[in-house]
């Protein structure tokens, strides 16, 4: 679905943001991007949306090279939607309804289709009761849901989330995970930047580990997150479930790492 070949990008002041980045994320994959602050995650995401143009390398979407003309960028942003970490950066209309309808109207869709899509999306994200409220009066978690609604209403093929659970209380974070899983069931390709190795371990199918603007590793969670030396080199820790399993492993009679608390609990119960 999405492929970068030897991408490099430097900011106007000369700071190297991305260096020779190559990666592939397949259709319908749940991908988590990990890395410490300054690793290049945000730079990668702005590039995926076409907000910056690489000085080297090529960006492919569904097998087609991405162009940077105004028309080509408009098409790219209809197929790749991004939800930034701070919802305030993406809210600018006077009501929740208008926020969700804005992008659809700019796509030139018929009024009837806009209304239909907005209604369905508001229902999906449990925002129907808030549709006439000004976004700036909502809670932080509600604002995040409004931004997500505005993005998914446009039905992009790829959805990019920058720290989606940042600043959320546990209940809102659970709702965010449920939204991601629902999108995955609908066949969407999901790319999520997160500092939570525990979330990445339990949720992702693919891990892209970044360090100093480069891809340090790109593989399954089992290949990357259990590698203590690799994680330490990238200033990250192993997931808690991995650490617990490795301490208990001699007694559990299995080599398969548990991906959830329930799986670990079942392994312990079986071993008793």
Quick one: pLDDT band at residue 271, thresholds 50, 70, 90?
Answer: low
Q: Which domains are present in the chain?
A: 2-220 (3.40.50.300)
The single residue listed with the structure tokens 């790492």 is 257
Q: Does 21 score more than 70 pLDDT?
A: yes
Residues 6+ apart with CB under 8 A from 231: 197, 224, 225, 237, 238
What is the gyration radius of the CA atoms in the chain, in angstroms? 20
User: Among 162, 222, 207, which residue's Cα sits nearest to residue 30?
Assistant: 207
> pLDDT (tens digit, 9 = 90+) per residue, 110-138?
999 999 999 999 998 889 999 999 998 98
Is residue 258 pLDDT above 80, yes or no?
yes
Helix (H, G, I), strand (E, B) or coil at 32: strand
DSSP string of 57-111, one letter each residue: EEEEETTEEPP-SHHHHHHHHHHEEEE-SSGGGG--SSSHHHHHHHHHHHTT--H
DSSP three-state, residue 235: coil
Residue 272 pLDDT grade (very low, low, confident, very high; cuts 50, 70, 90) = low
Q: Are the C-beta atoms of 7 and 54 separated by less than 8 Å?
A: yes
Alpha carbons 258 and 267: distance in angstroms, whole number: 8
Tokens representing residue 148 in the block:
């997500």
- Predicted pLDDT of residue 189: 94
- Residue 158 φ then ψ, to 5°: -120, 130
Q: What angle do CA 211, 23, 157 make, to 5 degrees?
A: 120
Burial class (CB within 10 angstroms; exposed 0-12, middle 13-18, buried 19+) of 184: middle
30-78 per-position pLDDT tens digit:
999 999 888 888 899 999 998 889 999 999 998 889 988 988 888 898 8
* Full-model pTM: 0.90
- pLDDT at position 254 over 70: no
Residue with more model confidence, 250 or 46 = 46
Strand partners, 7: 21
pLDDT, tens only, 204-247: 999 999 999 999 999 999 999 999 999 999 999 999 999 888 88
Helix, strand, coil shares of the chain, percent, nearest 5, are: 45, 20, 35
Buried b (16+ CB within 10 A) or exposed e, 142-165: bbbbbbbbbbbbbebbbbbbbbbb
With contact defined as beta carbons under 8 Å apart, do 39 and 217 qualify?
Answer: no
């Amino acid at each position: 679905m999405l492929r970068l070949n030897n991408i490099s990008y430097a900011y106007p002041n000369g700071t190297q943001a991305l260096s020779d980045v190559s990666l592939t994320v397949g259709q319908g994959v749940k991908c988590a991007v990990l890395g410490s602050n300054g690793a290049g995650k945000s730079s990668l995401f702005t590039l995926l949306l076409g907000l910056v143009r690489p000085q080297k390398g090529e960006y492919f979407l569904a097998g087609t090279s991405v162009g940077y003309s105004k028309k080509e960028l408009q098409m790219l942003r209809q197929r790749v939607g991004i939800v930034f970490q701070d919802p305030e950066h993406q809210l600018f209309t006077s009501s929740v309804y208008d926020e969700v309808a804005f992008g659809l109207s700019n796509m030139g869709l018929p009024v009837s289709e806009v209304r239909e899509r907005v209604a369905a999306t508001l229902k999906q994200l449990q925002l129907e009761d808030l549709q006439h409220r000004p976004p700036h009066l909502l809670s932080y978690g509600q604002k995040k849901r409004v931004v997500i609604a505005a993005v998914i209403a446009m039905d992009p093929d790829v959805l990019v989330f920058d720290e989606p659970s940042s600043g959320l209380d546990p209940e809102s974070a659970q709702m965010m995970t449920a939204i991601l899983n629902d999108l995955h069931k609908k066949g969407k390709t999901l790319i999520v930047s997160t500092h939570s190795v525990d979330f990445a371990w339990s949720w992702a199918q693919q891990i892209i580990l970044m360090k100093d603007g480069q891809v340090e590793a790109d593989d399954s969670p089992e290949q990357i997150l259990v590698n203590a030396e690799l994680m330490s080199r990238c200033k990250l820790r192993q997931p808690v479930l991995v650490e617990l399993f490795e301490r208990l492993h001699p007694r559990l009679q299995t080599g398969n790492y548990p991906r959830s608390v329930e799986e670990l609990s079942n392994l312990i119960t079986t071993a008793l």
